[in-house]
Amino acid sequence: MEVPGKVGWPVVGDKSVEFYRDPMHFLSKHIAHTKSPIFKARFLNKPTVFVCSNQGVRDALNCTGEHLDFGYESFMKGMFGHNVLFSKDEEAEAFRQFLSKLFTNHCLEEYETVISRIVTRHISTLKITREPLCLYLFFKNLFSDVCLSLFLGLDSTENSEQANSILSLTVDHWRGIVSVPLDLRLVHAPSTYSKALQAKDHLLEMISIQKKRAKAGFPMKVKETSNLDGSIVDNHLLLFTSALLPKVLASICTCLYVEIGKSDTSYYQGRARSDDAWLEDLLKEAMRLCPPLLGGRRLASKNCLVAGYNVPKDYALVYITHFAQRDPKVFEDPDQFKPERWAQRPELKDRLYVYGFGSRCCLGERLSALMLKTTLSSLLNKFVVQVCADQDFSHKFIPVLRPRNHLMVHLRAI
């Protein structure tokens, strides 16, 4: 079938501004207009197929590397250098083999010690006061510290000045990532991108130094397991230590507490303290309902089929995880927070796409799960988190899902 919709004229027919201004409105409007969860429009000044159905996203992710290439190189490679995100075929497989050695069971056991130490330290700073706590900011700071300690072997308590310097650079670097020239009308001031490139260079210098100093942990394992060029290894460490991962993990934890911190759902927290399976189901449901990343982008290197629709060669494809994981054809009551669905239908796990799907799925899924469960278990065993009433619970969706305003909570000791 031909994809419904119109790609419009170059430049004047581009819909990028409309999309970035309000992605939910843009997608809902076009789905209603075309009467299809898969439609086409001109985006980033390129004919683009938007895929919002669960099966469509599954097909798109299964095609990655065969008919669809990653679509980030043109506007993200300058920020990260060459790494697994911008590779394909034999090179991609070589990178994945190198990375897989860093996430074995033995490695995860070692990493857990570091993660637990940092999490315990941050949670010990929480106090019961009348003043509410900004939950997203707490989680973002915690996971930033975890990532620095884990991936660079840099303990902020031992060298706070260097840790703060690196965190400041990651902020400048992140601003460059979100201001890259997606469309001429969206470009931020050139100085933002230039400053980000300078931050990238400084970060790579620090990463190289920390890698040489490492005597244990993740950076030591990188040196032991890799036969790749040193700059390539540093580029991957830059990816791991960027501001993206802490924001993603903070997004997941915050969205979970939005659902289980209300007066009528706070009993979920009590059950999660003693039931690991329930905590996992809560996490899956939070990630289903509010995936931290809206979706992803691919480029068609060949004609391919996605959910029965023909995606022509040289078209871009944007898949929308947020809509796919609320597809009523797959999930009953898709807009409701129902963690019990995962015990009733465990096969639905393959319909979650937060970590991708298929041959190019995220290799760090188990490490991410370890960070999330360690953090949430520690918090659950110390406090009941109560979301303050009468506040705005809406989200910003780009580049990472986060509360539109500060999400404030009160803590009550167990």
Spatial neighbors of 391 by CB under 8 A, at least 6 apart, are 405, 407, 408
Say what the pLDDT of residue 315 is. 97
**Per the domain annotation, does 7 fall within a domain?**
no
The model's pLDDT over 369-400, given as tens digits with 9 standing for 90+, comes to 999 999 999 999 999 999 998 898 899 999 89
Chain mean position to CA 348: 20
**Per the domain annotation, does 4 fall within a domain?**
no
Spatial neighbors of 286 by CB under 8 A, at least 6 apart, are 252, 255, 256, 259, 337
Buried b (16+ CB within 10 A) or exposed e, 271-303: ebeeeeebbbbbbbbbbbbbbbbbbbbbbbeee
**Per the domain annotation, does 255 fall within a domain?**
yes
CB 176 within 8 A of CB 193: yes
Say what the pLDDT of residue 190 is. 53
Q: How far is CA 28 from CA 149, 317, 380, in A?
A: 41, 17, 37
Q: Give pTM, 2 decimals.
A: 0.94
**Per the domain annotation, does 9 fall within a domain?**
no
**Per the domain annotation, does 2 fall within a domain?**
no
**Per the domain annotation, does 8 fall within a domain?**
no
Q: How far is CA 403 from CA 392, 408, 410, in A?
A: 8, 10, 17
Strand partners, 295: 320
Spatial neighbors of 375 by CB under 8 A, at least 6 apart, are 119, 139, 142, 143, 249, 253
Compute how many other C-beta atoms are within 10 angstroms of the C-beta atom of residue 336: 11
Number of domains present in the structure of the chain: 1
Q: What is the Cα–Cα distance from 114 to 153, expressed in whole angstroms?
A: 9
Say what the pLDDT of residue 187 is. 44
**Per the domain annotation, does 215 fall within a domain?**
yes
- Is 362 annotated to bind a ligand? Reply is yes
**Per the domain annotation, does 282 fall within a domain?**
yes
Angle at which helix 244-260 crosses helix 230-241, to 10 degrees, equals 30
The model's pLDDT over 169-223, given as tens digits with 9 standing for 90+, comes to 999 998 887 765 443 334 444 578 888 889 999 999 999 998 888 887 888 888 7
Q: Which region, left, alpha or beta, applies to residue 260 given φ > 0 means left and ψ of -120 to 50 means alpha?
A: alpha
Say what the pLDDT of residue 165 is. 92
Buried b (16+ CB within 10 A) or exposed e, 309-321: bebeeebbbbbbb
Q: What is the Cα–Cα distance from 242 to 183, expressed in whole angstroms?
A: 24
Structural domain containing residue 79? 16-413
Say what the pLDDT of residue 89 is. 83
Say what the pLDDT of residue 281 is. 98
Q: How far is CA 35 from CA 24, 65, 312, 331, in A?
A: 16, 30, 21, 20
Domain with residue 23: its CATH number is 1.10.630.10
Q: Which region, left, alpha or beta, applies to residue 314 given φ > 0 means left and ψ of -120 to 50 means alpha?
A: left
Low-confidence ranges of the chain (pLDDT < 50): 181-189
Say what the pLDDT of residue 179 is. 66
